[in-house]
């Protein structure tokens, strides 16, 4: 397979990690004869592995061209780098059951939902080091952690090798589902020399909006890049979140300076390690800046409030190739009468309006209105209707 060079333009977007944008999408009937797949072993992918396949094949996980081999796996787990020294923080692996592993040799057809979706050329099979991976990547071996629970539940053997994807799966969000190359094209067409990406798995509330608009004073464009892959069962479903983003952006954001595009990765809840992955992959989408707030990609109390910011100190700016914008917790202060942070507000917590995700869900399920100081009324209405249908 070939790689795509960084697109030429009057100005240069950030080079993808590794220098080139990986492209391993091969369409059946166009790039190869489907008859080539007859008789090959087939491996059914779970939702997270299918999301990883897309991220690998479209270049979102450049420079990776497939699921990690053992040397890269151990290096990422222990050093947050690939074996060649390239920064990489979360192992992208393909687990299978031990009693099935030997059946997968040579080229394997990958399936999802009963459909052929891609191929894997198996180059290695090796044992997962689950306890080590849990301790280093998730910083805990607690099976109550959703990422650790998923790790322990999956197969004990990892398959490694380059992949291909037959078709980019845009079905759920066809208007907003763009590959890294396509996002780069939009950024270039709009002439943004600097672009900030914002990662979210939750509906946007007023504190998020505050961060966006403060940052838009500094850069040309905002890539609102919500994660729409697999999340915890109690997270707000992706279709509801995307609808909330649409109504918000339509009424309160500058259209020419904002792009809503979904990020199809699955959530791992790896906190600091996942913050690095989110930043590096956004570099591959062509952005120059990435927002990291409090407890990025965290869950429960497993990580410190700003651990996800501090971990970036393990890398130089040149290695990362993207500028990290670190923000403190923001909230509405009833005495200041505006959105503030601990850096700008002199008042104690009794003056602040702060709602946890759990509290928000409780209010929605009870049919209560969300305060206007917390979220825009249009967003609150989208959420209220969604939870009313759920009830």
Can you give the three-state secondary structure of 218-229, one letter per residue? CCCEEEEEEECC
Check if 3-165 and 180-390 are the same fold.
no
Q: What average pLDDT score do residues 355-378 get?
A: 84
63 preceded by a cis bond (ω within 30 of 0): yes
- pLDDT (0 to 100) of residue 1: 45
The tokens of 148 are what? 């650790």
Query: Known catalytic residue: 201?
Result: yes
The 10s digit of each residue's pLDDT in 113-150 is 999 999 999 999 999 999 999 999 999 999 999 999 99
The 10s digit of each residue's pLDDT in 203-260 is 888 999 999 999 999 999 999 999 999 888 778 889 999 999 999 999 999 999 999 9
CATH 3.40.50.920, applies to 180-390? no
**How many angstroms separate the Cα of 232 from the Cα of each of 139, 305, 310?**
19, 20, 25
The 10s digit of each residue's pLDDT in 106-121 is 999 999 999 999 999 9
CA distance 34 to 163: 16
Cβ-Cβ contacts under 8 Å for 170 (sequence gap 6 or more): 177
Q: What average pLDDT score do residues 171-176 get?
A: 93
Residue 3 banded pLDDT, cuts 50, 70, 90: very low
Give the domain 3-165 fold: Sulfate adenylyltransferase (3.10.400)
- Stated pTM of the model: 0.93
* From 26, 79, 107, 202, the catalytic residue: 202
Query: Known catalytic residue: 376?
Result: no
Q: How many CB atoms lie within 10 A of CB 86?
A: 16
CB 213 within 8 A of CB 221: no
Cβ-Cβ contacts under 8 Å for 173 (sequence gap 6 or more): 228, 238, 242, 262
Asked which of 40-49, 271-280, 325-334, 363-372 is least confident by mean pLDDT, the reply is 363-372
The 10s digit of each residue's pLDDT in 298-345 is 999 999 999 999 999 999 999 999 999 999 989 999 999 999 999 999
* From 129, 139, 184, 201, the catalytic residue: 201
- In the chain, % of residues over pLDDT 70: 97
As a whole number of Å, the end-to-end CA separation of the chain is 49
The 10s digit of each residue's pLDDT in 269-298 is 999 999 999 999 999 999 999 999 989 999
CB 339 within 8 A of CB 207: yes
Domain ranges of the chain: 3-165, 180-390
- The candidate with the shortest Cα–Cα distance to 61, out of 244, 291, 285, 353, is 285
Residue 6 banded pLDDT, cuts 50, 70, 90: very low
- The candidate with the shortest Cα–Cα distance to 351, out of 363, 336, 341, is 336
CA dihedral 184, 110, 229, 362 (to 10 degrees): 170
Q: What average pLDDT score do residues 181-201 get?
A: 96
Cβ-Cβ contacts under 8 Å for 334 (sequence gap 6 or more): 351, 352, 353, 373
Exposed, middle or buried by CB within 10 Å (0-12, 13-18, 19+), for 17? buried
Indicate whether 7 pLDDT > 50: no
Residue 367 banded pLDDT, cuts 50, 70, 90: confident
């Amino acid at each position: 397979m070939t790689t795509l060079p960084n697109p030429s333009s009057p100005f240069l977007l950030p080079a993808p990690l590794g220098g080139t944008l990986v492209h391993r999408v091969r369409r059946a009937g166009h790039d190869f004869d489907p008859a080539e797949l007859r008789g090959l072993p087939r491996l059914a992918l779970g939702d997270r592995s299918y999301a990883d396949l897309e991220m690998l094949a479209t270049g979102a996980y450049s420079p990776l061209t497939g699921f990690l081999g053992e040397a890269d796996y151990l290096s990422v787990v222990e050093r947050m780098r690939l074996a060649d020294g390239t920064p990489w923080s979360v192992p992208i692996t393909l687990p299978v059951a031990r009693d099935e592993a030997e059946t997968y040799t040579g080229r394997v057809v990958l399936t999802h939902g009963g459909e052929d979706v891609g191929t894997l050329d198996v180059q290695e099979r090796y044992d997962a080091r689950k306890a080590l991976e849990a301790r280093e990547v998730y910083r805990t071996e607690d099976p109550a952690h959703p990422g650790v629970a998923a790790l322990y539940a999956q197969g004990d053997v990892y398959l490694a090798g380059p992949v291909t994807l037959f078709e980019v799966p845009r079905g759920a969000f066809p208007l907003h589902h763009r590959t890294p190359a396509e996002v780069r094209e939009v950024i270039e067409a709009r002439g943004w020399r600097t672009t900030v990406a914002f990662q979210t798995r939750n509906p946007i509330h007023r504190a998020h909006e505050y961060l966006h608009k403060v940052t838009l004073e500094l850069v040309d464009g905002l890539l609102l890049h919500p994660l729409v892959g697999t999340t915890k069962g109690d997270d707000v479903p992706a279709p509801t979140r995307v609808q909330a983003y649409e109504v918000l952006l339509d009424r309160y954001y500058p259209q020419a300076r904002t792009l809503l595009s979904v990020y199809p990765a699955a959530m791992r809840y790896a906190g600091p390690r996942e913050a690095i992955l989110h930043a590096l992959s956004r570099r591959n989408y062509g952005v120059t800046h990435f927002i990291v707030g409090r407890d990025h990609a965290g869950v429960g109390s497993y990580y410190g409030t700003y651990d996800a910011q501090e971990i970036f100190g393990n890398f130089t700016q040149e290695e990362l190739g993207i500028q990290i914008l670190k923000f403190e917790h923001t909230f509405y202060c009833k005495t200041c009468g505006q959105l503030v942070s601990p850096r700008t507000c002199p008042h104690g917590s009794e003056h602040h309006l702060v709602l946890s995700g759990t509290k928000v869900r409780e209010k929605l399920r009870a049919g209560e209105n969300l305060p206007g100081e917390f979220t825009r009324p249009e967003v609150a209405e989208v959420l209220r209707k969604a939870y009313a249908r759920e009830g």
